Structure 1
Amino acid sequence: MNRRDAIMRVSTMMGGTLAAPWLTSMLSGCSNSPEEKQAILESFTPEVKNLLAEIAETIIPATDTPGAKEAKVQDYIADIVADCFNEKDRTAFFNGLNEFQKKANETYQKGFEQLEEAQRIEFLTKMEQEAKDYAEANKGNKEAPAHIFRTLKGLTLTGYFTSEPGATKALTYVHIPGKYQGCIPLEKGQKAWAT
């Protein structure tokens, strides 16, 4: 299976939560040189990575399965932005992340990382509604960048469910699945299949 097919399957599995600009960037391929990638990765300071880790962990918290932090989703997000986002999408990503943090500060007088769990959930719920409203207002406008929450949620879900902890502990994983069987009923309480 090639990268393009894998991305299309994951995006379908995630119910279309992936932002269109991000998906377009992924399908168009990587164009950054190793030097450019390193310069972009340096933009992901420890503070930025910590913010991404806390957002991702709020979206997919650790329960009886590992959370997004254990899957190192923040590193995945940094790699995807550095490898696959064009300059316009990278700028929109960092501007959106700054706006995200600014809104958290305006709402709670502290950054997202310092919020209590209930406040984080409340804030992300508001951001999700804002993202839906933004998408509706910009329907048909292909020049409008994706809302930062849709981008973060899409990258978090993809990063988590394609990571080793996400695929092997949150989903049912068979290392060597054998022959293809297109229709296998799930048993009650069974996790979705990773393979």
Structure 2
Amino acid sequence: MDRREALQRVAILMGGTIIGASLFLEGCERPASKDTSKLFERKSIDFLGDLAETILPRTNTPGAKEAGVGSVIPVLVRDCYTPEEQQVFLRGIANIDNLAEKEFGDQFQKLDKKDQTAFVNKLDKEAQDYVAKKSADEPPHFFTMFKQLTLLTFFSSKLGATEVFRYVKIPGKYDGNFPYHKGDHAWAT
């Protein structure tokens, strides 16, 4: 399987299209943007990791932060998004602490886990409402982009593919009638 096919499968897994999908499938051959340089600072990587961990927390499987999602997202934003999408993403991420303080009285990373989850659920609802109302020429909601990047990065990481999905290093023949039991992990291969 080549990278294009793998990304298409991840897109299907995530429920449809990925914002900037054409760039993902073309190999992200875009000149690097200097606007995203702040995302590569340690503080930003930790922040992105904590935000992603709220979407995919550690349970009996690894979480997004453990999979290194916070350090991969800046690369994808820089290399795979259009300048307009980058600006939407950067403005949204920069505004998270202001929104968290307004809603919950403190910066996102200082909130307890329950409030972080409630805040992320509020952002997700806002993004869904935005998508339902936006026209085709409007930019995507920053949280939609963030959530898609979190899922793509996590499930294509080694931890996501081997510890969350069932993984067979050398797969055998296809068996469309293979027994599936409630609670089984999906297959990564």
Instruction: With the length of structure 1 as denominator, give the TM-score of the two structures.
Output: 0.87
Q: Which residue of 1 aligns with 2:10?
A: 10
Q: Which residue of 2 aligns with 1:23?
A: 21
Higher relative contact order structure (alpha carbons within 8 Å, sequence separation ≥ 6): 1
RMSD (CA atoms): 1.9
Q: Does 1:162 align with 2:156?
A: yes
Q: In structure 1, the residue corresponding to 2:63 is in which secondary structure?
A: coil
How far the C-alpha of 1:94 sits from its partner, in A, is 0.2
Please say if residues 100 and 148 of structure 1, whose CA atoms lie closer than 8 Å, have aligned partners that are also in contact: no
Structure 2 portions without partners, runs of 5+:
none
Instruction: State the identity as a percent.
Output: 37
Q: Which residue of 1 aligns with 2:54?
A: 58
Matched AA of 1:15: G
Mean Cα deviation higher: 100-109 or 82-91 = 100-109
Mean Cα deviation higher: 73-82 or 101-110 = 101-110
Please say if residues 66 and 169 of structure 1, whose CA atoms lie closer than 8 Å, have aligned partners that are also in contact: yes
Matched AA of 1:25: L
Q: Which residue of 2 aligns with 1:85?
A: 81
Q: Give matches, 1:46-195, under 5 Å.
A: 46-138=42-134, 141-195=135-189
Deviations 1:80-117 (A, max 9, x none): 11221121111111011123332112212321111101
Distance 2:23 2:97 in 1: 25
Q: Does 1:32 align with 2:26?
A: no
Instruction: With the length of structure 2 as denominator, give the TM-score of the two structures.
Output: 0.90
Q: 1:87 to 1:183 in 2, by over 3 A?
A: farther
Matched AA of 1:43: K
Distance 1:51 1:14 in 2: 23
Q: In structure 2, the residue corresponding to 1:15 is in which secondary structure?
A: coil
How far the C-alpha of 1:137 sits from its partner, in A, is 1.1
Structure 1 portions without partners, runs of 5+:
none
Matched AA of 2:12: T
